């Protein structure tokens, strides 16, 4: 059974700091991996999708990497801003297009 773990569960950093969020999964037979952002009481916003054949994806200040063999992905946020405060979820995608989510990292960027 696929399990997805995110570390840390919560993170508080001062504005401007670079930070890394970690995601690990137990079964390397994944189709894709996707990072999402969720604001309190809201739905999901897709940030980056990495296909299984890719190593990383970049969008603005965000960079996500994928190492299938070790079952790990990281989300790097450069020059963090208070507006980045949210919960970040990673999800692995199986061939049936089902998403299996991690428990999330709650990020607070302090002004």
Partner 1 sequence: GAVVSQHPSWVICKSGTSVKIECRSLDFQATTMFWYRQFPKQSLMLMATSNEGSKATYEQGVEKDKFLINHASLTLSTLTVTSAHPEDSSFYICSAQPRTGYRDTQYFGPGTRLTVL
Quote the CA–CA distance of 7 and 9 in Å, as a whole number: 5
Residue 51 binding partner 1, by CB under 8 A:
yes
In the complex, the smallest distance separating the C-beta of residue 16 from partner 1, rounded to whole angstroms, is: 28
| Binding span for partner 1 by CB under 8 A among 19-27, 55-63, 67-75, 100-108 | 100-108
What is the helix, strand, coil percentage profile of the chain, to 5? 5, 60, 40
* Interface positions, 80-99, toward partner 1 (CB under 8 A): 89, 91, 93, 96-99
Residue 49 binding partner 1, by CB under 8 A:
yes
Residue 40 binding partner 1, by CB under 8 A:
no
Question: Count of residues binding partner 1 (CB under 8 A)?
Answer: 23
Answer for the pair 74, 48: CB distance below 8 angstroms, yes or no: no
Instruction: Give the residue among 39, 45, 37 at the shortest CA–CA distance from 77.
Output: 37
Instruction: Give the residue among 51, 61, 56, 63 at the shortest CA–CA distance from 21.
Output: 63
In the complex, the smallest distance separating the C-beta of residue 36 from partner 1, rounded to whole angstroms, is: 8
Instruction: Work out the number of other CB atoms within 10 angstroms of the CB of residue 86.
Output: 20
Residues near partner 1 (CB under 8 A) are 31-32, 36, 41-46, 49, 51, 89, 91, 93, 96-104
């Amino acid at each position: 059974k696929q399990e997805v773990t995110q570390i840390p569960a919560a993170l508080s950093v001062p504005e401007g700091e670079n930070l890394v969020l970690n995601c690990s999964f137990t079964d390397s037979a994944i189709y894709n991996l996707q990072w999402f952002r969720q604001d309190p009481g809201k739905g999901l916003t897709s940030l980056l999708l990495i296909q299984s054949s890719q190593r990383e994806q970049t969008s603005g200040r965000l960079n996500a990497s994928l190492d299938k063999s070790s079952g790990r992905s990281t989300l790097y946020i450069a020059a963090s801003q208070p507006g980045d405060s949210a919960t970040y979820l990673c999800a692995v995608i199986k061939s049936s297009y089902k998403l299996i989510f991690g428990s999330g990292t709650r990020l607070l960027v302090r002004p």
